[in-house]
A and B are shown apart, each in its own frame.
Chain A
């Protein structure tokens, strides 16, 4: 199957700092990538849909100025958590499809963010 790589896998930062998470499709071009957040023992929550060359589409309740998404190329999307606070600590996962709207999602390895 297609491979999606996410980096870093774990990051610890101080409150008030910004953290960037990268999501790369290694063997296919992804015009659309998805960013999810998952709190312990809860399901995946879609945060935003990242579209190559255009602005991301954010889900209701997700602050676009806090969670900056950039999808500058067909193989890379980045999520920047700005001015992070302890409540932003979570597991962030990106995913992509390699065939438009159909087919399975391939997930990155996930990034565990801990804000002190």
Chain B
């Protein structure tokens, strides 16, 4: 079966750095997405990785290792508004998106 694993919940301090991990087992791979979802709202796109390595975009970076079936989302200089759920999704060989359950990130002052 296809599976995406990410921690259910994480807590971090404002101004700090946090890394959210995602491991996947899917039938084929055509890219990995990270989305941010605030409570009661729809997801918004953060990043897309299809090749191994680190993609940096401002305070957010995303890393991919296809051989390990592993990705992480790195958030720097955390702000209170970063409190949200972070969803990892993998596009399989049929270009279907397989979604993780999401990681709820709680930022404390």
Contacts and interface: CB of A to CB of B under 8 A. Distances in A.
Task: Judge: A and B partners, yes or no.
Answer: yes
B42 A109 contact: yes
B42 A105 contact: no
Q: Describe B's contact surface by its main secondary structure.
A: loop
Q: Describe A's contact surface by its main secondary structure.
A: loop
Interface string A35-67: 000000011111000000000000000000000
B87 A109 contact: no
B43 A43 contact: no
Interface residues of A, number: 21
A110 B42 contact: yes
A27 interface: no
Given A101-B95, A112-B40, A42 B101 contact: yes
A106 B44 CA distance: 7
Given A43-B102, A44-B99, A109 B43 contact: no
Nearest to A108: B42
Interface of B: 31, 33, 40-45, 48, 87, 95-97, 99-102
A64 to B, nearest CB: 18
A43 B87 contact: yes
A102 B33 CA distance: 12
Nearest to B88: A43
A87 to B, nearest CB: 20
A-B pairs with lowest CB-CB distance, top 5: A107-B42, A101-B95, A43-B101, A110-B42, A104-B45
Nearest to A44: B99
B40 to A, nearest CB: 7
A108 B102 CA distance: 19
A43 B43 CA distance: 11
Contacts of A105: 33, 45, 97
18 contacts: A1-B45, A43-B87, A43-B100, A43-B101, A43-B102, A44-B43, A44-B87, A44-B99, A45-B99, A46-B96, A93-B42, A103-B48, A104-B48, A105-B33, A107-B42, A107-B43, A107-B44, A110-B41
B9 to A, nearest CB: 10
